[in-house]
Amino acid sequence: MTSVHFDPAAACNRDSVAEMLGLDTVLNLYWRYADELGAARGAQHVLLSNRKMHPKLDDIEAELAYLLIRERRPAKVVEIGTFHGWSTTWLLRALADNGTGHLHSYDIVDHVRRTVSRELAADRWTFHHGDVRTAADLDPSTIDYLFIDAAHTAPFARWYVENLLDKLTVGTPVCVHDVYHRARVGRFSEGRVVMDWLAARGIRHFTASAKAAPEAFEEISATKRCRGLGEVVHKAGPNPMLFFIKK
């Protein structure tokens, strides 16, 4: 049986997330925020039942994005790529549960406007309709948390590593979707560009990909079951997202 590691001291140490984003930290976040996460999952389940959506994030990816926001309490979150708003609503729930922070979402389509309720948007959400590459108001140095799930091409990745990742403040958490669809990152993919950027800067990353990191996936799944979070809300694929802290 898969073991579940829990370190209460680490769970109470927010600095641990800034120092390293690894499996122990992730498991501690699941323990620390289990009750609030359970409520968020319930709300997302209701949303998915009532809206015609095509979510891309599966449960673990969405939950980790939520948990990092809960722990870091960012003032400004930037989301690139919204589609129908599954990730948007998860990010907004984290900000709502924190009671602070604002989400700026960018996309060339505006389907998300039909998904996000007025109550959830409140005064914590701004949607920017258009190509993020031409957004004059996007200043990477002011971003406290960056979520990327847009055009999954190497050229777009080369744009955002140069224009966003290079200019983020040290300590900024970043999530990039659609990287680990398989055990290895594609040679000419968006993920390859990001991985090369990380390697050149000595930045470690974390993934819960069932294909690339099966042990981490099983540890997280076991922890979720232990905390009463095992029921599937939405299963989309093999958890291809990667997470890292800018340094």
Query: Domain of 199: which CATH number?
Result: 3.40.50.150
Which tokens sit at 5? 């590691």
Q: What is the pLDDT of residues 104-145, one digit of tens each?
A: 999 999 999 999 999 999 999 999 999 999 999 999 999 999
Confidence bin at 20 (pLDDT 50/70/90):
low
Contact 208, 220 (CB under 8 A): yes
Q: Return all residues near 166 (Cβ < 8 A) that are at least 6 apart.
A: 140
When divided into structural domains, the chain yields a total of 1
Q: What is the pLDDT of residues 83-106, one digit of tens each?
A: 899 999 999 999 999 999 999 999
Which tokens sit at 220? 């997280």
Q: What is the pLDDT of residues 35-78, one digit of tens each?
A: 999 999 999 999 999 887 878 889 999 999 999 999 999 999 99
Confirm whether 203 is domain-assigned.
yes
Confirm whether 2 is domain-assigned.
no
Which tokens sit at 166? 């290079």
Confirm whether 50 is domain-assigned.
yes
Residues composing the chain: 247
Pairing outcome for strands 102-107 and 173-176: unpaired
Confirm whether 112 is domain-assigned.
yes
Query: Which amino acid type is present at position 133?
Result: R
Euclidean distance between CA atoms 166 and 182, whole angstroms:
27
Question: From residue 185, how far is each of 39, 58, 75, 205, 209 by CA, in Å?
Answer: 34, 19, 32, 13, 11
Domain that holds residue 195: 8-245
Confirm whether 193 is domain-assigned.
yes
Confidence bin at 179 (pLDDT 50/70/90):
confident
Which tokens sit at 2? 């898969």
Euclidean distance between CA atoms 55 and 86, whole angstroms:
6
Please, what is the angle between helix 86-98 and helix 34-50, to 10°?
140
Q: Which residue reads 């031409």 in tokens?
A: 134
Query: Which amino acid type is present at position 35?
Result: D
Confidence bin at 215 (pLDDT 50/70/90):
very high
Confirm whether 1 is domain-assigned.
no
Confirm whether 83 is domain-assigned.
yes
